[in-house]
Structures are given as structure tokens and as C-alpha cells.
Amino acid sequence: METYPEPAPIVIGLLDLPTELVVLVFQTTNSLQDAVALSSTCKFTRQIYEYDCRIGMAGMPSAFELLNLQRPDVISAWRNENLRPHLARYRPAGSKFKFLNVSTTNRLTNPSLSPRMNSFTGIEERKQLQMNHSIIARLVRDHAKFEYRASFTLVDGLEDFFYRINKARDYFGGVTDVAGRQSITPSSSETTRLLETTYLAAALQLKIYAFGRYTQNGKLKGGRTILNYAPLLSLSFRQCLELVAALRVLFVEADLGSLNNMYWLHYSRHPPTGSYNRKLCATGSEERKQHPIFSTSNLRMTLAMVVNMRARIYSVLGALKCKPSALSPDFVDLSPINHPLRSIFWDENRPVLSKLFKRLDRRIAQSPDEIAKAALPLHPKSTTNETEIKEYLTRLNSLADNLKTGFNKQYLPDFEALRVDRDGVLLFTKTGIKNDTSKDGYWGIFRRSDLARLRKQFGNALQKAD
């Protein structure tokens, strides 16, 4: 029998591929280090890398959401001044406030960026993105302190997963002692997930604040803060839980740990909960450099509201066996180093968690109960559609009576949709709150108790208003 030599293998290099496929290879890389290494192949690959600054950051879409918020005139000078007190951290020695070091003028937007949204091909875009990334990456590197890896591979269904979350202190013994334990170094993909969640937190910081104002003698007065829940209600439950874990570890515990090198000017029996609401004095410049980059107290408060409410809705609809316990805004329940939520970013848990949350979404979506849709996240585009957002809130608010039993009333849904202007301003009048009609306005979601608080604060001024 005649034999034939085996055909030689055909070796196809990166440069043998069509340009479209080469671009696709670059766009699917999740690591800037890998993207830079790939771009060093030749001049052609370098040009591809430099064309689009999203290359190497496929797993961090919130980085570009933050970049869009930094474009010129996205945040006006008035909104900038009113946001600063909520974003600023205590800085000793009179140092100036900077959010992600955007500019030396304390502006949150960068005038050198292209004003066009979703344009990521300019040199200034890449410079700003690199600056943002260096600061976010340093925050994760300095404060991502994990000393335990809990596996979800043995979790039997979503009910048991939540049981472990609620009973973590009893189920696992509530290990809080980290003495002698080595910090776990996250893998590249785990770090990417931590970075994405931190970028998301930064973007939310620029979205959740709105301001109540009123007209007096033909001029706008006031600027009282009110929190907009629409950005958080638009997140999936999984994103919310990842934010809980990241904010606890990267911000709350980072603040608590930094007290080892600080002394109180006003002593208290109670430890702080993650935001410096007392005057502190640092003992060294190195300690100041290691502070988390912005305050998260209001973000954590709104997040706790959304997580507690949504978990309770799942329970009422029968998706969970146990009644979930309420998380406090400092997420102190996550203090045991073996708490399951602290392992939500680990690679080995991704398949199980993906299956569990898909099962939960499918169960809610297939429920014949129309109210079950309130457990699903608000579609982001609904903030431009009055009918959709009001239908969503009608379903959500209708669940309040079912959630009352054994549930803190501060977490009951009682929301109202109102349209604000581009600065996030709610205009209060004698007869009520006036919905903004400008093309740059958008719909926000506010707690009625917060709206009543502002109306009470503006009471005397509104009586004298024109």
C-alpha cells in the first residue's frame, strides 16, 4: 500500500489574519499588559492598539462610562461645586480635593477631551483613561485585602447560597482574626472584576446626586441634596452584591485599617463605619496616600436600600427559603473574612454564581405574577421614557404592604419618578415639584420621604416665593 507523508502543519501568525480579525483579537483582551505586549509585535499592531483605547479593557465597560462623564460640559460648573463636598475625602495639611486627579482646577470634567460621547480614539481620551486606570488600579492594589477563599461549588441552589450569606457568622464560625494570615493575591481575571466594580462605583458617585431648588425673586435658590435611586435600580442583583463586597473591602475596611496610624482629636467609644465624619490627623504622608479615593457613605446607603429591598422581594415571591437579613450601610455583616460575599470575585465561583443568578432571573421572568417584574432591574433606557418608569414604580410600590412584616420600614419601596434638568435639579414650587421639560433632562427616582424632607426645609421660602 502506498503511503503518503503527513502534510506539514500550516502555521498562521497574527499578521496572516485579516485586519478585521486582528482588531477582534485586540478587542477581546481583558488585560492592558497583554494588549501592550501584543501591540509590540510590529508597527501595524501598534497602530491598531493606539486607534482605540478600549483595547485591553474589554472586561471594564464602566471605565468608559466614567470617561464619558468626564467630557467637557457633561457636568456643569454649578453641579461640579455641589458634588465636591460629597466626593471629597478629609485631606490633612490643607491639600486640595481632586476626584481621580481630573484637573488642577478642581473640575470633574476635562476640557481637553472630545465632547463627543462614545469617542475613544483620541490621544486625550487615552491619556485620561490611563490616569484614571492608574488611580483605580492603585486603589485595588493597596486595599484588596482578602485572607480567605470560600468555594461555592457545593452550593445546592440559590436558597442555600442566601442561607450561607445570612448565616455566615454562625455557619462558618465568623472568623475575623487576620493575624498571621497572608493576603490572597487575586488572579488577572479576578483583578479585572474588582477593577470593573470599582469603576462602576466611581461612575455611580457622579450619578446618584440630585439637588432641590426653588425660585425666589426670579432667581434659583437653594441646593439641598437628594439621592437618585434610578442608577442603582438599573443594576442587576449580581452587580449590587459585587458592589457590596468591593465597597466593604476597598473602602470601609481600608478606612478602619488606616486608623492604626492615626489618632482621634475627638474620642468616641464607637469605631468609624468607613467615612471620616470626625476630624482626624494623620501621622505621615504615606498614610495619606493610601486613603480610598472618594467617600462612599451615600452610595453605600442607597445600595443597602436597593439590596435589602430586592432580596426581600425575592423572598416574598418564593424564590428564597429564608427571610434575608438587612444589610447595614457599612456592610458590617461582611466583616468575617470567610463571609461568602467576600469570595464573589473568585474564578472558581463564577460558573456556579452565573447559573444561580440566571436561574433566579428566569424564575422571576416566567412568573405569572405581574408584580414579579418589580424584582427585575429597571431598564436603563426607561429613564428617558415616562410610561415605562412609572409602570415600573407602580409595580414596585405596590409590594410595600407585602414587605412590612418583620422588615425595617426604611427599606420599604415608596418611590416617585420626577424629571430633573441636566444638573439633576428638582424645582420646588408652592403647588408641588415641577418636572423639567428641557431636552437634556432625564427621569430620576426619589424616595417620597426625602422629597417631603426637602419640602419641609424649603417651607418658609416657598411661602414667600413669587
| Contact criterion met (CB below 8 Å) for 334 and 244 | yes
Band (pLDDT 50/70/90 cuts) for residue 291 is low
**Cα separations (Å) of 233 from 118, 236, 346, 379, 386?**
23, 8, 25, 9, 16
Predicted confidence at residue 153, as pLDDT, reads 61
Burial class (CB in 10 A: 0-12, 13-18, 19+), 290: middle
* C-alpha to C-alpha distance for 432 and 21, rounded to whole angstroms: 57
> What is the per-residue pLDDT for 146?
87
Q: How far apart are CA 166 and CA 323, in angstroms?
A: 9
Please tell me whether residue 209 adopts helix, strand or coil conformation: strand
Name, of 93-102, 221-230, 286-295, the range with top average pLDDT: 221-230
pLDDT interval class at 277 (50, 70, 90): very low
Q: Which residues in 155-166 are b (16+ Cβ under 10 Å) and which e?
A: beebbbbbbbbb
Q: Closest Cα to residue 238, out of 265, 200, 270?
A: 200
C-alpha cell read off for 224: 439641598
Q: Express each pLDDT in 24-46 by its tens digit.
A: 888 777 777 788 888 888 888 88
Q: What is the structure's pLDDT at 184?
A: 83
- Compute how many other C-beta atoms are within 10 angstroms of the C-beta atom of residue 254: 19
Residue 326 near residue 411 (C-beta atoms within 8 A): yes
**What type of residue is 161?**
F
CA-to-CA dists, residue 347 to 166, 193, 372, angstroms: 22, 10, 31
pLDDT band at 444 (very low <50, low <70, confident <90, very high): very high
Tell me how far apart the terminal alpha carbons of the chain are, to the nearest angstrom.
105
- Among the ranges given (26-40, 66-80, 348-362, 415-429), the one the predictor scored with the smallest mean pLDDT: 26-40
Q: Please list the residues that pair with 210 across neighbouring strands.
A: 226
Task: Show the DSSP H helices in 317-447 as ranges.
Answer: 350-365, 386-397, 400-403
Residue 451's pLDDT band (cuts 50, 70, 90)? very high
Which amino acid, residue 48?
I
Confidence (pLDDT) at 340: 80
C-alpha–C-alpha distance, residues 428 and 212, integer Å: 7
Provide the grid cell at 126.
487615552
How many Å separate Cα 364 from the centre of its chain?
A: 24
- Angle value at C-alpha 246, between 65 and 146, nearest 5 degrees: 140
> What Cα–Cα distance (Å) separates residue 344 from each residue in 148, 230, 423, 442?
12, 24, 35, 33
pLDDT of residue 265: 30
pTM for the model stands at: 0.84
Confidence tier at 262 by pLDDT (50, 70, 90): very low
Between CA 349 and CA 148 the distance in angstroms is 13
Cα–Cα distance measured from residue 89 to residue 107, given in angstroms and rounded to the nearest whole number = 16
Long-range contacts of 344-351 (CB under 8 A, 24+ apart): 344/241, 344/242, 344/245, 345/186, 345/190, 345/193, 345/194, 345/197, 345/242, 345/245, 346/149, 346/150, 346/151, 346/190, 347/187, 347/189, 347/190, 348/149, 348/151, 348/152, 348/153, 349/151, 349/152, 349/153
Instruction: For the chain, give every domain's residue range.
Output: 12-58, 147-183+201-266+295-464
Q: How many Cβ atoms are within 10 Å of 215's Cβ, its own excluded?
A: 18
